[in-house]
Amino acid sequence: MRILPRYVLRELAIPFGFSLLLFSFIFIVGNLVKMADLLVNKGVDIMDILKILLLLMPKLLGFILPTSILTAILLTFGSLAQHNEIVAMKSSGINLWKIMAPVIALGFFVSLIALILNDQVQSNASFAYRQAVKEILIKRPVAYLEAGRLIKEFRDYIILVQKVNGNQLEGVTIYQPQGGKPTRTIVAERGEIISSANDKTLILKLYNGSSDEPNPEDPSVFYKLDFKSFELPPINLGRDARPANKKIKDMTLDEILVQMRLNQGKSTEDKDQLNTLRSEFHKKIAFSFASFVFTLIGLPLAILAHRGEAVVSFCLAMGMVAIYYILFVWASTLGSHGVVPAFAALWFPNVVLMGGSLFLFKRVTAT
């Protein structure tokens, strides 16, 4: 009886490996276009580009692993159903659960790997990625400036530039979020950006424009100030190099738990921060088990679809992945804003798909 489970796992191995390569290529290609622009047009060193590309891989694998295992299951079990091998097994009195159990165990094992990957590897790689981007900005401050695109790589500022010529900028608009207060806006006809590698700072000088300045009597109210020359405070790119300054999405589960204990205040700001921390905590765990959930939904879906063609399996996989990720983004938003408790919100997509898998399993075992 051990022969069939081994046979199924061997049949699953090649599609899984192929899917890993295919989706890795798809996810990387989108980033390669940006990397090529940095190399060719912005003059960024190739070693810096390879470094940030390597640091991106753990994050990409968080999406690649569940998508790959779902596609592999749809290909393998769809082919078995299409060639009546599933019917032959059932006719021989073989319980399908014994065939699917090793695959379910594999999906659970992959999810455990994903949990370690998302918690330890991805969190630290994401933090290192941000520091690597800041190092590039110090060496070549215009590397991430692109005409007509909102630039969020500069700390505390969102910058929009209409034209970039070296370190000279034209049509500059700068937004400075104030944390619960109206966003400050600065507009200038032109500007220039200067970097200091020693201080790890950027200086942005603006000419011929206007700035929103806070009213001394009421800081929440701004008044318009015209200027011929204006210099923003130095943008310090080295402040985030310390682990204590990590963003929430870059924290490990242990670090999030520590921050949750520190944010057990009663103020509105503390509650908002606590909701975000709880949401990120459950998000890391729940999202890691996407591979297991996709395994459960993929097995009966492949058998019922009765199709093992690559195109059909790929389309089914993409449809299921799209539904899951849309639900997950929606649930993450509800959890982080405190509309729904973080635990209930972030595990909801997994519960929905697991419920759907139980329904499909009943149909498979009943026929």
- Closest by CA to 232, choosing from 172, 182, 273, 284, is 172
pLDDT (mean) for 194-208: 78
pLDDT at 289: 94
pLDDT at 1 over 70: no
Give the global pTM: 0.77
Weakest-pLDDT range from 37-41, 59-63, 329-333, 357-361: 37-41
pLDDT at 297 over 70: yes
Tens of pLDDT, residue by residue over 134-191, are 777 777 777 767 778 887 767 678 888 888 887 788 898 888 887 667 778 889 999 8
pLDDT at 69: 93
Q: Are 227 and 210 in contact (CB under 8 A)?
A: yes
Q: Kindly tell me the sign of the dihedral angle through the C-alpha atoms of 25, 26, 30, 31.
A: negative
Six token digits for residue 293: 């959930």
pLDDT at 266: 53
pLDDT at 50 over 70: yes
Per the model's pLDDT, the better-predicted residue between 124 and 37 turns out to be 124
- Compute φ and ψ for 89, nearest 5 degrees: -65, -45
In sequence order, the 6+-apart residues with CB closer than 8 A to the CB of 305 are 74, 78, 81, 312, 316
Per the model's pLDDT, the better-predicted residue between 36 and 344 turns out to be 344
